[in-house]
Amino acid sequence: MLQTAVHEIETAAELEKIINENENVMVCCGRMGPMCLPVYDDMEELEEERPNIKFYTMGFDTPEATPIRNAPMCQGFMGLPFTVYYKNGKMVEATTSIQNREQITSILDEYFN
């Protein structure tokens, strides 16, 4: 399990339920590593600022993360984390590797405003 302040998704079924029941969802799928930690920190801050978006983490190495790891938008990704954005149950954007707050907010503004 990841040790972040952002709620962690533990199963593929939970992921499916969350993206189908919430209009705007950001999921950062990673590990407790140097490329992932800054994204988790930014998500924790953004969670307070943007109540219209649900923020979650998910452990990359669990078989339960297969829907994210194998998503068409994530094909060819090499670096962690895989960060995915869902609008009305559909993946609308995905990024790989470290993202800074400006990059994240740019995506949030484009898809979730």
pLDDT digits (tens, 9 = 90+) for 54-99: 999 999 999 999 999 999 999 999 999 999 999 999 999 999 999 9
Please enumerate in sequence order all residues whose Cβ is within 8 A of that of 76, keeping only pairs 6 or more positions apart, or say none. Answer: none
Whole-number pLDDT of residue 33: 95
Burial 90-103 (b: 16+ CB within 10 A, else e): ebebbbbebbeeee
**pLDDT at site 47:** 97
Does the structure show a pLDDT above 90 at 1? no
Task: Give the domain range for residue 67.
Answer: 8-112
Domain assignment present for 1: no
pTM: predicted TM-score of the whole model, two decimal places: 0.97
The rounded radius of gyration (Å) of the Cα atoms in the chain is 12
Q: Structurally, how many domains does the chain consist of?
A: 1
Query: Which of the four pLDDT bands, split at 50, 70 and 90, describes residue 12?
Result: very high
Confirm whether 15 is domain-assigned.
yes
Strand ranges in 1-113 using DSSP code E only, listed in sequence order: 8-9, 24-30, 54-59, 82-87, 90-96
| Cα–Cα distance for residue pair 87/23, rounded to 1 Å | 5
Find the CATH number of the domain harbouring 18. 3.40.30.10
Summarised one tens digit per residue, pLDDT across range 19-54 is 999 999 999 999 999 999 999 999 999 999 999 999
What is the reported pLDDT for 39?
A: 98
CA–CA separation, 92 vs 109, rounded Å?
A: 13
